[in-house]
Each structure stands twice: as C-alpha cells, then as structure tokens.
Amino acid sequence: MDDNTRAEENENGVEGINTKVAKPISVETILHMQDGTGEDSYARNSTFQATGMASVTDLLLQEASSLLHLPAQGWLSVADLGCAAGPNTISLANRVVAHLQEKSFDHGDALEFQLFFSDNPSNDFNTLFRSLPPLMTFSNLHANNINGHHIESSPGDECAKRWYFAAGVPGSFYTRLFPRNSLHLVVSFFALHWISKIPEIAQARSSNESNEGSRSLYFPMPEVIEDFTKQAHTDLCSFLNHRAEEIVSGGILFLVFLGRQTSSSLERQPASVTQGSKCYTTSCTSQDSRVAGHTAFLYHLLHLSFDDLVSEGLIDVRTKESFNLPYCDRDTNDIKKAVSESGLFTIRILEQQTCSFWSKEDKEEMEKSHEEVGRRCCKLIKSIVGSLVEAHIGSHLSQLFWDRFEKKAAENADYALNSYYYVANIVCLRRN
C-alpha cells in the first residue's frame, strides 16, 4: 500500500485519535476488490453483479455475433476491463468465447481466441489466474473430434474447459492498455462508475475545517456533485478515446455500470424505487436528483459508521470528512453526451435496468433477522470499498469501522431489504 496515501496506523491503539490530513488518493494504486476466495472476498460476495451480468449476457452475445465480422480463420481478441477475480469473470469469458466459437464453425474453421483480463495493478490477478480452467487448443479439438456444438457453455458453467489464451493486463482503463487496432470485443461489467480520481476541488472542500459537516459527500452540496459530474464526464471521454484507438473498426464495446435514473425515465421505474431514492437523497439533505438512491444510502451508512468512530474518540472529524469515494452515477444523457463528443462510436444499445441487490435466496435468509441483513450488507459493501477505507484509516481501525457499519446496516434493515435497488446503465457501442 502507498505510504503517501494510507493513514498512519494509530500507534496508541484504540484509545488515541487518528488524524488524517487528506491527500489525493491514487485510485489506480489503491482500489481493488477484496482479495482471495475467503468469506469476505469479492469472489464470494458478488452475487448481485453475477445476476446483473446473467440478465444481459444474452444481449451481449446477440450483439457480438450479429455485428462482429468473424474471419474465416485466424483469431479474435476480447478484453474484460475491470475484471476483478471470481466466478463472474470466468463465467463471462467462457460464455462469450463458447458462443463466438460456435458461430465461427458456421463460417469456416475454428477461430482461436485471446482473452485479456484487465484491472488496476492491485487487483488479485493471482486468484484469477489460479481459477482459470485448463486450456483446450486446436490440437485438443481435433484429437477429440469435437465439433462446435459440443463446446457451448451454459451460464454459471465454471468447470468448463477454457477455449482461449489468457493474459493479464494491469492498468487503469482511463489510460491506453492495448496496441492500436488490436481488439475485436471489449466488455466491462460493474466497473465504470469508478472514476479516475476524487476531483481536487471536492477534496479541498472536504479537507477545509470551515466546511466540516456541510460539504462532504455525506451531505452532497450541488457544487460537490458538480465537481464529480465533471470528472466523470472527462473520464468517460478519455475512456472512449483510448478504446477507440484499441478497437478495430466494426468492433464492439459493451458496458454495464451503476448509474442513476435518467430523469425522463423516472416514471417508468417501480414506485418503491423512486420513493426509496427520494427517501435517501432527502435524508442526506440534498434534493439533487443526480444522487442515486443506492449511493445516498451507502454514504448514509458510511457517515453513521465514521460518526461512531469520531464519538468514540478513535478518529477526528477531519478524518471522517476527508473520506470520499472516487465514484459517480451517470445517467443515459451523460453517456450520450460523451459518445457524441468522442464521435468515434455508434450507439447500438443505451438503456437502464433497475435491479435488487439481493437474490431470492439472500432475501429469504435476511428476512430471518435484522442482524443477518447487517451482516450481508456489510460483506457486500466491504468486499467493494474495503481497500479504500483501509487506505484511509489503516487496517486496525478498519475492522472497528466495519463492525459499526454492520450494526448501522442492521438498524436500517427495512430499507436495506426492501428498497435497496440499483440502476444499471447498459451500453453497446460499435466502433465506426
């Protein structure tokens, strides 16, 4: 972990006060999902992403097979940006390759596939590589006399063989990652809501003592939201421009990421979702519809948990106030604007889906007790933002923080269980 960006561990233990003067965090260096395959890992706590992914994979496959020009022979390269590690990553790669492989048999000989798994350098690439299924190549294919119809992989088929060459590419997707014209299909699931940095103005505002308690993202003022919105726009434009260099003409960019409801589509959402969003934007004293309900709820819980550490004398208010997430909810208008400014892609699909964070099985378990709601909420959020909290207050205080977070989530169990929805932007672009 970067010394400049991580809070000093409190040498006096839990009795002392941890003071942190906010320094800009290096998102690329710090942000990663919880490592490994243990109970708290992202790999074991990514079911909402798995469900969201499963619900749009058919759309992705349909677009890819109808739009991509599959060569009669040779190879195709696919990149997964913000891949993390875990069953979602493997299952997505298996399904995409199996589907295109199947299609390629209709056109000629079997194609070979190169899959690039890309994420921030601090991502747990070791776990990812260890979980890759064994490679099958052309020689296996011919030796086993397998034709295309036998390699189709079904959703969740993690034990399947691997029909692609795999490589890891460390780096931020807000930079160039691949050579020019080298990719045919680029996908990114549940990653692009992370922006490249906390906007400097917002960071300065939250570090300024005179602004304590009034201007941080826990209570988002319009100008703070504006800073984040601008950063998100700059980032999306730069993401598109870099991908435009890397993707071949006619290639596909398929993106799914968290967002906020596009105002004109509000009335099409279920009433409870709209009420939920309003409830949580209002309770955070912002009337600004640019804050999504799920984000406001997350900040609400972060705020309450940090508040506990402050009142227990474990951190000071400035440490709390200077915590920010490099995160922004965009809507479909924001996306349209960036695509049109880039001028290098044609929009094929641009829509939104509203989904619950919990599966039916999750809900059944969570209905048993508020404590269970607290536990599951905590695991879900910790597996995603744990690295950022730890970078801010150190590992010891982090553990105390997550204990508080679990309790706060349990106290908000009704909302967490019944109204905790997210909005996903679903975008398919074709390189001109």
Ligand X SMILES: C[S@@+](CC[C@H](N)C(=O)[O-])C[C@H]1O[C@@H](n2cnc3c(N)ncnc32)[C@H](O)[C@@H]1O
114 has which bridge partners?
Answer: 77, 165
Using the minimum distance from each CB to ligand X, give the nearer residue, 52 or 293. Answer: 52
Give me 397's structure tokens: 């205080």
Long-range contacts of 271-279 (CB under 8 A, 24+ apart): 272/418, 272/419, 272/421, 273/354, 273/419, 273/421, 275/419, 276/415, 276/419, 276/420, 276/421, 279/415, 279/419
Binding residue (CB under 6 A) for ligand X from 53, 70, 255, 309: 53
SS3 356: strand
Beta strands in 70-182 (DSSP E): 75-81, 112-119, 165-170
Residue 88 interacting with ligand X (CB under 6 A): yes
Binding residue (CB under 6 A) for ligand X from 123, 203, 206, 305: 123
For residues 302 and 322, give the distance between their C-alpha atoms in angstroms, rounded to a whole number: 12
Using the minimum distance from each CB to ligand X, give the nearer residue, 157 or 212. Answer: 157
Count residues contacting ligand X (CB under 6 A)? Answer: 24
Cα–Cα distances (Å) from 333 to 182, 185, 198, in that order, read: 29, 24, 22
Using the minimum distance from each CB to ligand X, give the nearer residue, 194 or 297. Answer: 194
* CB 290, CB 217: distance < 8 Å: no
For residues 378 and 156, give the distance between their C-alpha atoms in angstroms, rounded to a whole number: 25
Using the minimum distance from each CB to ligand X, give the nearer residue, 10 or 422. Answer: 422
Residue 77 interacting with ligand X (CB under 6 A): no
* CB 431, CB 247: distance < 8 Å: yes
Using the minimum distance from each CB to ligand X, give the nearer residue, 77 or 387. Answer: 387
Stretch 355-384: interaction string toward ligand X, x if CB under 6 A: -----------------------------x
Residue 190 interacting with ligand X (CB under 6 A): yes
Of the candidate spans 68-76, 99-107, 117-125, 200-208, the one that interacts with ligand X by CB under 6 A turns out to be: 117-125
Residue 401 interacting with ligand X (CB under 6 A): no
DSSP 188: E
SS3 80: strand
For residues 41 and 131, give the distance between their C-alpha atoms in angstroms, rounded to a whole number: 14
DSSP 42: G
Using the minimum distance from each CB to ligand X, give the nearer residue, 173 or 306. Answer: 173
Using the minimum distance from each CB to ligand X, give the nearer residue, 80 or 227. Answer: 80
For residues 223 and 205, give the distance between their C-alpha atoms in angstroms, rounded to a whole number: 10
Using the minimum distance from each CB to ligand X, give the nearer residue, 173 or 280. Answer: 173
Using the minimum distance from each CB to ligand X, give the nearer residue, 128 or 314. Answer: 128
The minimum distance between CB 44 and ligand X, in angstroms, equals 12
Stretch 23-42: interaction string toward ligand X, x if CB under 6 A: --------xxx---------
Using the minimum distance from each CB to ligand X, give the nearer residue, 190 or 422. Answer: 190
Q: Which of residues 147-186 bind ligand X (CB under 6 A)?
A: 172-174
Binding residue (CB under 6 A) for ligand X from 18, 77, 120, 319: 120
Residue 335 interacting with ligand X (CB under 6 A): no
Calculate Rg over the CA atoms of the chain: 22
The minimum distance between CB 348 and ligand X, in angstroms, equals 20
DSSP 6: S
Cα–Cα distances (Å) from 208 to 53, 202, 215, 320, in that order, read: 41, 10, 9, 12
Binding residue (CB under 6 A) for ligand X from 68, 84, 110, 309: 84
Length of the chain: 432
* CB 381, CB 416: distance < 8 Å: no
* CB 352, CB 421: distance < 8 Å: no
Using the minimum distance from each CB to ligand X, give the nearer residue, 87 or 133. Answer: 87
Q: Which of residues 193-252 bind ligand X (CB under 6 A)?
A: 194, 196
Of the candidate spans 54-62, 107-115, 119-127, 415-423, the one that interacts with ligand X by CB under 6 A turns out to be: 119-127
First to last CA, the chain: 41
Amino acid at 38: G
Binding residue (CB under 6 A) for ligand X from 25, 83, 221, 315: 83
The minimum distance between CB 171 and ligand X, in angstroms, equals 7
The minimum distance between CB 170 and ligand X, in angstroms, equals 9
- Binding residues for ligand X, rule: CB under 6 A, are 31-33, 46, 49, 53, 81-84, 88-89, 119-120, 123, 172-174, 189-191, 194, 196, 384
